[in-house]
Amino acid sequence: MCYDKKNIERKDVRRTESVKGIIESTISLDKSSCYFMKSGKCSLSIIGDFSFSRTRLDPSDVLYCPHLFQQMTGKDKLKPINIIPCECGHAEVVTGQQRACIASQKRLRLAVAAAGQESYPLCSVCGSQMTLDETAAQAGGLRVVTVHAVIDPPKKVKRK
């Protein structure tokens, strides 16, 4: 993982036992999971104040990301995204693609958790650049975003 050592606050690391820093993460969104990919305009920049009456939104709906942003600054503030670290220095976002995108745009601190013990040699962005994968380039939804992360250490297993 790629950490910005200038942004790590040493007092906070000791007190909260978590690492704060910057992670460059790869996300993959498409027309069915992102209003921007569908329309060319990010819903976070065109929607201001709104009232929410529907119980469920599709990820490509214009209100999906503004509603998710409200949740991320409220009750779901500490809900983590799951990532897999890559040897290229990026991290592959496994769950929470839209949350990572919103956090990147709004400069929110976002909780990050490892999706498992595995790591990849290359993220999907670096991998497609190495293989010159034109389908990924044409899709346009594959990109690297900068996430201001709070990374909790793995939980210690209690031995009996």
Q: Could you tell me which residues come within 8 angstroms of residue 46 by beta carbon, excluding any fewer than 6 positions away?
A: 62
Whether 155 has a pLDDT exceeding 60, the answer reads no
Quick one: which H or E segment has residue 94? strand 91-95
- pLDDT at res. 116: 84
Please give the Cα distance from 58 to 41 (Å, whole number): 16
CB environment 73-105: b (16+ within 10 A), e (fewer): eeeeeeebbebbbbebebbbbeebbbbbbbbbe
- pLDDT at res. 125: 87
Name the pLDDT band for 124 (thresholds 50, 70, 90). Answer: confident
Q: Could you tell me which residues come within 8 angstroms of residue 36 by beta carbon, excluding any fewer than 6 positions away?
A: 29, 42, 43
| CA 4 to mean position of chain CA atoms | 16
**Integer distance in angstroms from the first to the last C-alpha of the chain?**
33
- pLDDT at res. 10: 33
Predicted TM-score (pTM) of the model is 0.74
Q: Per-residue pLDDT tens for 4-56?
A: 433 333 333 333 345 578 889 999 999 999 999 999 999 999 887 766 666 78
Please state, as a whole number, how many other Cβ atoms lie within 10 Å of the Cβ of residue 129: 14
In contact, 144 and 25? CB cutoff 8 Å: yes
Q: What is the CA radius of gyration of the chain?
A: 17
- Pick the residue with more confidence: 64 or 78? 64
Rounded to 5°, angle at Cα 115 from 43 and 62: 10
Listed residue (92, 78, 80) closest to 126, CA to CA: 92
Mean pLDDT of the chain: 78
Whether 137 has a pLDDT exceeding 70, the answer reads no
Quick one: which H or E segment has residue 65? helix 64-72
Q: Per-residue pLDDT tens for 90-119?
A: 999 999 999 999 999 999 989 998 888 888
- Pick the residue with more confidence: 17 or 61? 61
